[in-house]
Chains A and B, each alone.
Chain A
Amino acid sequence: MLSILQEHFFAFLEATSMTLRLTAISLLLAVAVGLIVAFLKLSPNRLLNGAANVYITVIRGTPLIVQLMFLYFGISRLIVLSSFWAGALALAIHAGAYVAEIFRGAIQSIDKGQMEASRSLGIPYWQSMRLVVLPQAFRRAVPPLGNQFIIGLKDSSLVAYLGVSEIYGTALSIQAENFQPFETYVVAGMYYLVLVLIFTLLVNRLEARLDVEKRRNEPEVPQLEYATP
């Protein structure tokens, strides 16, 4: 196993960079897609609302591999996408549906009084959204988003089937050469595991930094008269 790690160090390094690029681009797009779809779904307009529902239903109701193949091979007569972009877009569209539901839930979980208080001060709707509701909603969305991002990172392995040499794709070709599938796949798994662990650490850091609730326990000014036994 060590020999595989050593021998293919640079191949896996490049593969890791490919995995990270795929993941980063697709998740960035997924956040944009998710935010837009979440607002469509919250819209009172039935057409916009319906469009968001169709998107979420279709994307959540079909496997990612089918979506990947469809974008790369299925529509090749209409648009020819590079394997990288077909993969990144499919991942983005796929994760976008889940991210949309995360954002919708987070926005809806913010007390209506927040929007009302903001509007009562004369702050217009979208500005109230931006200044008052979204910052609080993003905080609540961080844990489920982190979860979704981890899923997205691992889902990027399916792009190997479009011929992209990311971590899993690289492992596929290496084990075909060395006939050591056990060792090779363990190594590939380790790469993913390490990436996920690093990512989890980052999300936890972010969560701690954004956590206003925690500040409740560390008041700047101790208020003993209100302390409960």
Chain B
Amino acid sequence: MSNTEHMIKLEDVHKYFGKLHVLRGINLEVDRSDVVVLIGPSGSGKSTLLRCLNFLELAQQGSIYIDGQLVDPDSTNLDKVRARVGMVFQHFNLFPHKNVLENVTMAPINVRKEKKKAAREKARALLSQVGLEDKDRAYPSQLSGGQKQRVAIARALAMEPDIMLFDEATSALDPELVGEVLQVMQDLAAEGMTMLVVTHEMGFAREVADRVVMMDEGLIIEDNTPQQMFDSPKEERTSKFLRQVL
């Protein structure tokens, strides 16, 4: 599509779980190659927002545009959209019955119909990009948390997505393993990937993000540059939240 379009655009998105009103009218725009970090207290709807962007959850109201195109779940092939929107989960969700290389090549071979040999070559390149070129034959149970998450990132990248979503990608990791995953994410940002990142790593937000978005109770309450968000937040709730986490 044209470069002037936003890579992601949400208009008045609402999501309910039964009676629970989790997203209460989200408006958000993310430009190509931008890194937007979502912060906010637990239960504020950050993860739900990411899951709506990958259509693992369907918003009941509002419009979601991916790369300038309105995604209507009733008339759009969501599998095609999901293939372009990579997602990294808190608990990695690697396929335990497949080795690392098979984890990374499964979707390219089965969805993109890539030739096995080409898919494997690409997977090896991605694995070396995340520093795991020697682990291609290992099974997920043989990897550390940080290694698992880096495989998960390589697996998502193998679909050559336009957007990467990170849902608390480092929250389940031992502290000493967080850095290696954040480094991979930072490299990805530097390469120009459009990223939406839910994280509690404020250092990452400050260093890598183009914008930081503060959510509370299903609403975006502040959308700012990292510097302003952390040094002089506009909203009282933001400064209160930041005091608690920093």
A-to-B contact residues, CB < 8 Å: 111, 113-114, 116-124, 127, 131-132, 135-136, 139, 212-213, 215-216, 219-221, 223, 226
Tell me which of A116, A123, A127, A215 contacts B89 (CB under 8 A): A116
- The proximity string for B residues 153-181 relative to A, scoring 1 for CB distances below 8 Å and 0 otherwise, is 00110010000000000000000000000
Check: B73 CB closer than 8 A to any chain A CB.
Answer: no
- Can you give 27 contacting A-B residue pairs, CB < 8 Å? A113-B89, A114-B95, A117-B93, A117-B95, A117-B152, A118-B106, A118-B107, A119-B79, A119-B82, A120-B87, A120-B89, A121-B106, A121-B155, A122-B82, A122-B107, A122-B111, A124-B79, A136-B95, A136-B96, A139-B97, A212-B97, A212-B141, A215-B139, A216-B139, A216-B141, A221-B135, A223-B144
Check: B54 CB closer than 8 A to any chain A CB.
Answer: yes
Note all chain B residues with C-beta closer than 8 A to A122.
79-84, 107, 111, 159
Does the CB pair B79–A136 fall under 8 Å?
no
Check: B110 CB closer than 8 A to any chain A CB.
Answer: yes
For the complex, what is the distance from the CA of A125 to the CA of B82, rounded to whole Å? 12
Tell me which of A123, A136, A215 contacts B111 (CB under 8 A): A123
Contacts A139-B97, A220-B142: A131 and B106 contacting too (C-beta < 8 A)? yes
Residue of A nearest to B82 (CB): A122
Check: B190 CB closer than 8 A to any chain A CB.
Answer: no
Closest chain-B Cβ to A216's Cβ sits at a distance in Å of 4
Contacts A131-B106, A216-B141: A121 and B82 contacting too (C-beta < 8 A)? yes
- The proximity string for B residues 111-124 relative to A, scoring 1 for CB distances below 8 Å and 0 otherwise, is 10000000000000
Contacts A111-B93, A121-B82, A122-B79: A219 and B142 contacting too (C-beta < 8 A)? yes
* Majority-rule SS of A interface residues: helix
Residue of A nearest to B156 (CB): A121
Does the CB pair B142–A136 fall under 8 Å?
no
Known pairs A113-B89, A132-B106; list 14 more (Cβ under 8 Å): A111-B93, A117-B94, A118-B95, A120-B54, A120-B56, A121-B86, A122-B82, A122-B84, A122-B107, A122-B159, A123-B111, A136-B96, A212-B97, A221-B142
Check: B91 CB closer than 8 A to any chain A CB.
Answer: yes
Tell me which of A120, A212, A226 contacts B144 (CB under 8 A): A226
For the complex, what is the distance from the CA of A139 to the CA of B97, rounded to whole Å? 10
Sort A-B residue pairs by CB-CB distance and give the 9 closest, nearest first. Answer: A122-B83, A117-B93, A121-B107, A113-B93, A120-B87, A216-B141, A122-B82, A219-B142, A122-B111
For the complex, what is the distance from the CA of A221 to the CA of B99, rounded to whole Å? 13
Does the CB pair B56–A213 fall under 8 Å?
no
**Chain B interface, number of residues (Cβ within 8 angstroms):** 34
For the complex, what is the distance from the CA of A215 to the CA of B141, rounded to whole Å? 8
For the complex, what is the distance from the CA of A118 to the CA of B155, rounded to whole Å? 10
Note all chain B residues with C-beta closer than 8 A to A226.
144
Note all chain B residues with C-beta closer than 8 A to A113.
89, 91, 93
Check: B234 CB closer than 8 A to any chain A CB.
Answer: no
Closest chain-A Cβ to B199's Cβ sits at a distance in Å of 18
Note all chain B residues with C-beta closer than 8 A to A223.
142, 144
Check: B21 CB closer than 8 A to any chain A CB.
Answer: no
Residue of B nearest to A226 (CB): B144
Residue of B79, B84, B139, B155 with most chain A CB atoms under a 10 A cut-off: B79
Note all chain A residues with C-beta closer than 8 A to B139.
212, 215-216
For the complex, what is the distance from the CA of A114 to the CA of B54, rounded to whole Å? 15
For the complex, what is the distance from the CA of A117 to the CA of B151, rounded to whole Å? 13
For the complex, what is the distance from the CA of A135 to the CA of B87, rounded to whole Å? 23
Does the CB pair A121–B111 fall under 8 Å?
yes
Does the CB pair B137–A220 fall under 8 Å?
yes
Check: B138 CB closer than 8 A to any chain A CB.
Answer: yes
Closest chain-A Cβ to B194's Cβ sits at a distance in Å of 16
Closest chain-B Cβ to A15's Cβ sits at a distance in Å of 40
For the complex, what is the distance from the CA of A223 to the CA of B148, rounded to whole Å? 14
Residue of A121, A213, A216 with most chain B CB atoms under a 10 A cut-off: A121
Does the CB pair A119–B56 fall under 8 Å?
yes
Note all chain A residues with C-beta closer than 8 A to B91.
113
For the complex, what is the distance from the CA of A220 to the CA of B143, rounded to whole Å? 11
Does the CB pair A114–B93 fall under 8 Å?
yes
Note all chain B residues with C-beta closer than 8 A to A221.
134-135, 138, 142
For the complex, what is the distance from the CA of A124 to the CA of B152, rounded to whole Å? 19
Closest chain-A Cβ to B159's Cβ sits at a distance in Å of 6
